[in-house]
Amino acid sequence: MNIVVCVKYVPDAQSDRTFNESDNTTDRVGVDGLLSELDEYAVEEALKLVEAGEGEVTVVTVGPDQAADALKKALQMGADKAVHVKDDAIHGSDAVATSLVLAEAIKKTGTPDLVITGMASTDGTMSVVPAMLAERLGLPQVTFASELSVDGSTVTIRRDGDAASETIVATLPALVSVTDQINEPRYPSFKGIMAAKKKPVEEWALADLGIDASQVGLDAAWTKVESFTKRPPREQGQIVTDDGDGGTKLAEFLAAQKFV
C-alpha cells in the first residue's frame, strides 16, 4: 500500500507567535516552528498501516525552507521519503490555493492508495483543506477518523460525535483525516534519526507542478487579514480579603463581568 501523508510546518505554540507587519501574514520564518502536532497522528497511522502489510509512506509539505524540519521529523518517525514544495510565490496562500498545490504534488508522486491528513493544522485550525483536497483529487473523503482500518479495497473509519459514533466505509483510493484520538505517535528512535539522513527528499517549485503563480499567493487569496493587534500583557488580578463576606464579593464580581 502506498500512502501519502500531508504535513505542515507551524509556529511553535510555546513561542511568541505573530504576523508579518509587511503583509499581515503569519510569521513562519522569524519564530521557532515544528511539525504540526495533529499531523503526527496522521504519520503514525500511515506507518502502522504499512508495517501491518507492505508499501511505503511519502510525506508532503508546502512551505518555506524551515518546513524541511517537519519533513525531517516525519522521516525520523519512519516515513520512507518526502516532498517539499517551496516557492516564494506561495507565500500568503489561503486554504484554496494550498489544496491546489498539495493536490498537484500528490498527483506528481504517483497514484497513492490512501491520502492521510491531520484533522486540522494547529495554526489555522480550519479543517477545510482535507475536503478541498479530496475534491481536487476526485477521491471519497472520510474525515475525523478516531479509528481506521483497511481491508482489501476498502477503508473503514469510526467518527465519534457528541451524540453518537458513525462507521463510514469508502472504496480505495480515498482520503482520510484523523483526529488526535486515533493513536499515540511514536518518538523518533536513534536508529530512525540516523536512517532519516539517507532518505530521499525532493524539492519542487510551482513550475514543476504546472501551477501558474497567479493561482496562489496573497493576491489570489479569497480572505486576508486586514489588521492585527498584539495581545496586551496580563494585569495583576484583584485580591479580595475574606472578612466573612467573600462569597458576596465573588458573586458581585461575577455579576459585574456578566458571567452570571
Report pLDDT for 241.
83
With residue 171 as reference, give the H or E element that holds it: strand 165-171
Whether the per-residue pLDDT at 222 is higher than 80: the answer is yes
Residue 194: how many CB atoms within 10 A of its CB?
Answer: 11
Write down the pTM of the prediction.
0.87
**Would you say the C-alpha torsion 230, 9, 70, 176 has a positive or negative sign?**
positive
pLDDT tens for residues 182-201? 999 999 999 999 999 999 99
All 3 cell numbers of residue 79? 516515513
Which structural domains are found in the chain, ordered by start? 2-220 (3.40.50.620)
C-alpha grid cell, residue 184: 499515540
Per-residue pLDDT at 60: 98
Question: What integer is the mean pLDDT of 88-96?
Answer: 94
Angle at 30 between CA 39 and CA 224, to 5 degrees: 70
**CA 162/CA 160 separation, integer angstroms:** 7
pLDDT at 37: 95
